Amino acid sequence: MKSFTWSSKIRQEFEKELGRVRVDRVKGADNDPNKIERVRVNTAIDRDDYGSKVVQVKH
């Protein structure tokens, strides 16, 4: 599989969705053609189960 470069139009269109995921390298180096990467949902404290950013409401 070859690498893919995002155009600025695509990045703008899907900016919110792309903020919900990250790509983790499981195995291999930067230039390794056989490296293994996985797409995962961000699970930080300020994210819900789907990776959307949660805003804390102060009472």
Q: pTM, whole model, 2 decimals?
A: 0.51
| Mean pLDDT along residues 52-58 | 75
Long-range interactions of 13-21: CB distance < 8 A, separation 24+: 19/51, 19/53, 20/47, 20/50, 20/51, 20/52, 21/51
CB 21 within 8 A of CB 39: yes
| Mean pLDDT along residues 49-59 | 73
pLDDT score recorded for residue 20: 77
Q: What is the pLDDT of residues 11-49, one digit of tens each?
A: 888 887 777 788 889 999 988 989 999 988 777 777 777
